[in-house]
Homo-oligomer: A and B are copies of this chain.
Amino acid sequence: MNKLKIWVLRLSHRPIRDKRVTTHLFLTARAFGAEGAFYSGERDEKVEKSIEKVNKSWGGTFKIFFCQKWVKAVQKWKRDNGEVVHLTMYGLPVQDVIDQIKASSRKKLVIVGGAKVPGAAYELADWNVSVTSQPHSEVSALSIFLHELFEGNELKKSFENAKKKIVPQAKGKKIEKMTL
């Protein structure tokens, strides 16, 4: 897996309405090789705790930070030599821009919209990227983007200090409990 450092920024999280989709989004970010995620909107300790619980059982060091002033955070990210990708159905097709994005080894922040995406996200982004130009899901858009970025190697990623691990089976379930 290439060494690209990827973080995700989820905009405008609303605890009741978005709880499950945001959780799916963060778990996808974790499973597909991102370092961690920031989110704006409303603080949601339930979502944060459910991700921590996954880290404890399944390993790794995926981090979550709440960040209210996301525009400032993105501006700081850029000053720190980071680049910004914004996933939006209005952007340029992922298959057309992914090679260009991969060509730079600078850390990347992937902005994923919530309810209504402010114009600033489009302006701050180095790339506005679409995964199809159809309406679907920020969860699938993020997974396809990371899958293309990491060239499928993220599918084999292993997580340090896992308490349990799945042993893939043709039928049924097999979990290995790790003794530390």
Instruction: Find residues 126-151 in chain A having any chain B CB closer than 8 Å to their own CB.
Output: 127-128, 130-137, 139-140, 142-144, 147
Contact between A93 and B168, CB atoms less than 8 A apart: yes
**How many Å from the CB of A178 to the closest CB on chain B?**
14
Contacts of A21 in B (CB 8 A): 20-21, 24
Q: Is the CB of A168 within 8 A of B132?
A: no
Given contacts A24-B140, A135-B58, contact A91 B168 (CB under 8 A): yes
The reply to whether B147 and A92 contact each other, CB–CB distance below 8 Å, is no
Choose the segment among A5-13, A64-72, A104-112, A154-162 that binds chain B (4+ C-beta atoms closer than 8 Å).
A154-162
The answer to whether the Cβ of A163 comes within 8 Å of any Cβ in the partner chain is no
B24 to A133, Cβ gap below 8 A? no
Closest residue on chain B to residue A19 by CB atoms:
B20
Q: How far is the CA of A128 from the CA of B169 in the complex (A)?
A: 8
Q: Number of copies of this chain in the oligomer? A: 2
Looking across the interface, which residue of chain B has its beta carbon closest to that of A159?
B134
Determine the residue in chain B with the shortest Cβ distance to A123: B171
CB neighbours (8 Å) of A143 from chain B are 136-137, 139-140, 143-144
Q: Which residues of A contact B (CB under 8 A)?
A: 17-18, 20-21, 24-25, 27-28, 30-32, 54, 58, 89-95, 122-123, 125, 127-128, 130-137, 139-140, 142-144, 147, 152, 154-157, 159, 165-166, 168-174
A-B contact pairs, 6 of them (CB 8 A): A122-B173, A123-B171, A130-B168, A132-B155, A136-B143, A143-B143
A31-B140, A92-B168 known; 19 other A-B pairs, CB under 8 Å?
A: A24-B136, A27-B134, A30-B136, A31-B132, A32-B136, A58-B134, A90-B166, A90-B168, A90-B173, A91-B169, A93-B155, A94-B155, A95-B152, A122-B171, A125-B171, A133-B165, A133-B168, A134-B159, A143-B144
